Structure 1
Amino acid sequence: MNESEIRRIFERSNLSQADFAERIGKSTRTFQHYLKGETTPNSRVISKLKEIETELKEDRTKNTSY
C-alpha cells in the first residue's frame, strides 16, 4: 500500500492524524512517515488500513441508501 492510498483512506476518515495513528496502533510521527512515503507499513498495519477502508465504504453505503 503506497502513500497515496494511505492518504486517501486517512482523508475519508475525517480523523486527526493523532486519532488515525492511534486507530492503526502507531505513533503520530510514524503515521506521518507513511503519508510522506518515508516508511512502508508492515502487514499488520496494512490489514488495519484495509479494515478501516472497508468500514468507511460500509458507512458510505448506509448513508446513501435512504
Structure 2
Amino acid sequence: MKNLSTEQAAEYLKSIGVRVSRKTLEAWRCYGRGPAYHKVGNRVFYRTPDLDKLADGQRVETIDSRG
C-alpha cells in the first residue's frame, strides 16, 4: 500500500483512466466528498486502495441489447 500526495494521487488516477485534477481532490476534501484520505499534521495522503475504490465506482457496465 502506497501513500501518495494530492498531486501524485491525481496522476495515479489519471494513469488508471480517471481524470481528476489536484484541485478537484482538494475541493472534494473541503466538501467531504471523494476518496478517503489521511492527514498527518498539515500533510494529506491518499492510499492507492482508496483511489482504486474511487475508480471502481466510476466504472459503468453496459448490457448488450443484441443478445
Both proteins in one fold, TM over 0.5: no
User: How high is the TM-score relative to the length of structure 2?
Assistant: 0.35
Which structure carries more strand by proportion?
2
